[in-house]
C-alpha cells in the first residue's frame, strides 16, 4: 500500500495539514473495496482528487472512470445522460444512446454535486446502489451494471433531507464512508506552499519570472478568509503572474487582488422566531385584551347602578363582590391611573364608588341616558375573521391560517372552540 506522501506526489496534492492527510489515508484504505464513498467540503477545496485516488488504487483502475457534474446537467436530460435512452423515447431522441452507468460498467463514476440531483433521478440511483439495476429512458428492459459510485457535495445534506430535497435512504447508501476535506482557511501552513506552487506553474506556462511575496504580503495571505478556497488562491496567483510587472509582490499590491480584505462585515445573527413563538404571544395578547374588556364592563355596570340608584349603601351591598374585585386589582398594580373617560382609579382605598361617580359627572353629563354598550365583542370579531378567511379559501385551513397570521394548529383549535 502506497504512503500518504507518495500519493500526494503522484496526484499533485500540496500540503501537510493533518486533516488533509487523514482524508487521503481514508481514501487509500477504502480503495480496495467496492463500498460507496461521499466526499464533503466547501466548494474549491479539491474534492475531485479523492475519487481519482480511490479509482487508481482499486481493482477497477483499468476500467473507465467518468466524472459527472450533476449540477451542470439540465433536469430534463440528466436521466438520459446517466442511464441512456431508447430511440424515439422523447423529442430529439433520434437514436438509442448508452448512459454513463452502461459505459462505465466495471469502472467508477464520480457524481460531483450529488445534492443537485432531481428526486426522480435519486430514485433511479438508489436502485443502482441497491442491486445494480437500471432502466433506460423509454425502455421496459432492466439492465445490470457493476459500477462503483463516489459522490461529492458542498451542501449540508441533513438540511436538504429535512427540506425534502434529498432522499434520506439514498444519503445513507452513498455515505457508507464519508471523507471530509478542510477549507483552506483551516490549513494556514499550506496556503503559502500552494501559492508558491501556483506561481511556479504560471511562470513556466507564460514564460516569465516567478513572482515572490514580501513578508507583509505573506502575512496578508495567511489572514485572508479564502471563501473560494484553493480555486480562489489559484486564480489570484494567476492574475498577479500575468498583470504585475514587478515580480516582488508587496502587501499593498496583493490587497488589490483580494476582495473585501480588511472590511469588517457585521455578523449574521439569527433573530427569527418560530411560528409557535408568535402564536403563543398572540394568544397571550388576546387574553390580556379580553381581561381588559371584562374590567371595563364591570366598571360600566357599577357606574350605571350608582347613577340610577341614589342609595349608595344598597349598591355597595348588592355589588360587594364586584367592588372587592376592583379594589384587589388596584392593590396588585399599586399604580394610580386615570383613564380616558376621566374615571379615577381607587387610590389606596381612599376613594369611594360615590366619588368615582362624582368625578365622572363633573366631566360628563350622563343625565338619564347611558351610551349603549358596543354589541360586537373581540370574541365575535375573531369568529367573524376566521369565518371570512375560511370562506375565502374554500375551507383550506393552511391558506386561511397563513392569511390570519396564526399556525394551522392554532386555527384548528379555534375551529373546534367556535364549533365551525
Query: What pTM was computed for the model?
Result: 0.62
What per-residue confidence (pLDDT) applies to 310? 57
What per-residue confidence (pLDDT) applies to 235? 96
Residues 164 and 79 in one domain: yes
Question: Using CA atoms, how far apart are residues 402 and 411, in angstroms rounded to an integer?
Answer: 10
What per-residue confidence (pLDDT) applies to 416? 76
Question: Using CA atoms, how far apart are residues 287 and 279, in angstroms rounded to an integer?
Answer: 13
Q: Which grid coordinates are listed for 2?
A: 502506497
Is residue 146 a part of any domain in this protein? yes
Question: Using CA atoms, how far apart are residues 13 and 325, in angstroms rounded to an integer?
Answer: 81
Residues 159 and 49 in one domain: yes
Distances 33 to 45, 59, 61, 110 between C-alpha atoms, Å: 25, 9, 12, 16
What per-residue confidence (pLDDT) applies to 396? 81
CATH number of the domain residue 243 falls in: 1.10.8.60
CATH number of the domain residue 385 falls in: 1.10.10
Nearest to 339 by CA among 331, 348, 330: 330
Residues 113 and 82 in one domain: yes
Torsion of CA 128, 133, 134, 135, to 10 degrees: -160
What per-residue confidence (pLDDT) applies to 415? 81
Residues 339 and 383 in one domain: no
Residues 197 and 132 in one domain: no
What per-residue confidence (pLDDT) applies to 401? 81
Question: Using CA atoms, how far apart are residues 31 and 46, in angstroms rounded to an integer?
Answer: 18
Question: Using CA atoms, how far apart are residues 380 and 171, in angstroms rounded to an integer?
Answer: 51
Is residue 290 a part of any domain in this protein? no
Question: Using CA atoms, how far apart are residues 179 and 184, in angstroms rounded to an integer?
Answer: 16
Neighbours of 30 (CB within 10 A): 21
Question: Using CA atoms, how far apart are residues 400 and 414, in angstroms rounded to an integer?
Answer: 12
pLDDT-flagged residues of the chain (< 50): 264-269, 271, 273, 330, 333-354, 356-376
Q: Which grid coordinates are listed for 305?
A: 347602578
Question: Using CA atoms, how far apart are residues 155 and 165, in angstroms rounded to an integer?
Answer: 11
**Is the distance from CB of 214 to CB of 251 less than 8 angstroms?**
yes
Residues 82 and 112 in one domain: yes
What per-residue confidence (pLDDT) applies to 233? 97
Q: Which grid coordinates are listed for 63?
A: 476500467
Is residue 394 a part of any domain in this protein? yes
Instruction: Look at the alpha carbons of 281, 284, 288, 290 in this order and tell me if their dihedral is positive or negative.
Output: positive
DSSP state of 70: G
Residues 209 and 107 in one domain: no
Residues 36 and 81 in one domain: yes
Residues 236 and 121 in one domain: no
Residue tagged 409557535 (cell numbers): 276
What per-residue confidence (pLDDT) applies to 90? 87
| Cα 411 off chain centre by | 26
Is residue 117 a part of any domain in this protein? yes
Q: Phi/psi at 67 (nearest 5 deg)?
A: -105, 130
Q: Which grid coordinates are listed for 129?
A: 446502489
Residues 175 and 192 in one domain: no
Total domains present in the chain: 4
Is residue 402 a part of any domain in this protein? yes
Residues 6+ apart with CB under 8 A from 107: 55, 60, 63, 64, 65, 66, 147, 148
CATH number of the domain residue 63 falls in: 3.40.50.300
Is residue 314 a part of any domain in this protein? yes
Is residue 61 a part of any domain in this protein? yes
Could you tell me the residue range of the domain that residue 148 belongs to? 4-182
Residue tagged 364549533 (cell numbers): 419
Instruction: Look at the alpha carbons of 239, 245, 249, 253 in this order and tell me if their dihedral is positive or negative.
Output: negative
Nearest to 354 by CA among 321, 306, 308, 418: 306
Residues 88 and 113 in one domain: yes
Residues 194 and 164 in one domain: no
Is residue 274 a part of any domain in this protein? no
What per-residue confidence (pLDDT) applies to 147? 96
End-to-end CA distance of the chain: 73
Nearest to 83 by CA among 165, 171, 144, 36: 144
Amino acid at each position: 500500500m502506497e504512503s500518504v506522501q507518495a500519493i500526494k506526489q503522484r496526484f499533485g496534492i500540496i500540503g501537510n495539514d493533518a486533516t488533509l492527510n487523514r482524508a487521503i489515508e481514508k481514501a487509500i484504505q477504502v480503495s480496495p473495496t467496492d463500498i460507496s464513498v461521499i466526499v464533503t467540503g466547501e466548494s474549491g477545496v479539491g474534492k475531485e482528487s479523492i475519487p481519482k485516488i480511490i479509482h487508481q488504487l482499486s481493482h477497477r483502475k483499468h476500467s473507465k472512470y467518468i466524472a459527472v457534474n450533476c449540477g451542470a446537467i439540465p433536469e430534463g436530460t440528466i436521466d438520459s445522460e446517466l442511464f441512456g435512452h431508447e430511440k424515439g423515447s422523447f423529442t430529439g431522441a433520434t437514436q438509442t444512446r448508452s448512459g454513463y452507468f452502461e459505459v462505465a460498467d466495471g469502472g467508477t463514476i464520480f457524481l460531483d454535486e450529488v445534492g443537485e440531483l432531481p428526486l426522480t433521478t435519486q430514485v433511479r440511483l438508489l436502485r443502482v446502489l441497491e442491486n445494480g439495476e437500471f432502466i433506460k429512458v423509454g425502455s421496459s428492459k432492466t439492465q445490470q451494471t457493476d459500477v462503483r459510485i463516489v459522490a461529492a457535495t458542498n451542501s449540508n445534506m441533513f438540511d436538504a433531507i429535512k427540506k425534502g430535497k434529498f432522499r434520506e435512504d439514498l444519503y445513507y447508501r452513498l455515505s457508507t464512508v464519508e471523507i471530509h476535506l478542510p477549507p483552506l482557511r483551516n490549513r494556514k501552513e499550506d496556503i503559502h506552499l500552494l501559492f508558491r506552487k501556483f506561481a511556479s506553474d504560471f511562470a513556466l506556462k507564460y514564460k516569465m519570472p516567478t513572482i515572490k511575496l514580501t513578508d507583509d504580503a505573506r502575512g496578508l495571505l495567511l489572514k485572508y478568509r479564502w471563501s473560494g478556497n484553493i480555486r480562489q488562491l489559484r486564480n489570484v496567483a494567476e492574475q498577479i503572474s500575468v498583470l504585475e510587472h514587478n515580480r516582488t509582490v508587496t502587501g499593498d499590491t496583493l490587497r488589490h487582488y483580494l476582495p473585501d480584505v480588511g472590511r469588517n462585515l457585521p455578523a449574521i445573527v439569527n433573530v427569527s422566531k418560530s411560528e409557535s413563538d408568535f402564536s403563543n404571544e398572540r394568544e397571550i395578547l388576546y387574553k390580556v385584551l379580553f381581561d381588559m374588556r371584562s374590567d371595563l364592563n364591570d366598571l360600566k355596570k357599577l357606574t350605571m347602578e350608582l347613577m340610577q340608584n341614589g342609595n349608595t349603601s344598597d349598591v355597595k351591598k348588592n355589588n360587594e363582590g364586584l367592588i372587592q374585585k376592583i379594589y384587589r386589582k388596584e392593590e396588585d398594580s399599586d399604580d394610580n391611573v386615570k383613564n380616558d373617560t376621566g374615571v379615577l382609579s381607587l387610590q389606596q382605598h381612599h376613594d369611594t364608588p360615590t366619588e368615582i361617580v362624582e368625578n365622572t359627572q363633573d366631566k360628563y353629563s350622563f343625565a338619564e341616558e347611558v351610551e349603549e354598550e358596543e354589541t360586537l365583542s373581540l370574541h365575535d370579531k375573531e369568529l367573524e375573521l376566521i369565518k371570512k378567511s375560511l370562506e375565502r379559501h374554500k375551507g383550506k385551513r393552511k391558506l386561511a391560517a397563513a392569511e390570519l397570521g396564526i399556525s394551522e394548529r392554532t386555527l384548528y383549535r379555534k375551529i373546534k372552540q367556535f364549533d365551525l
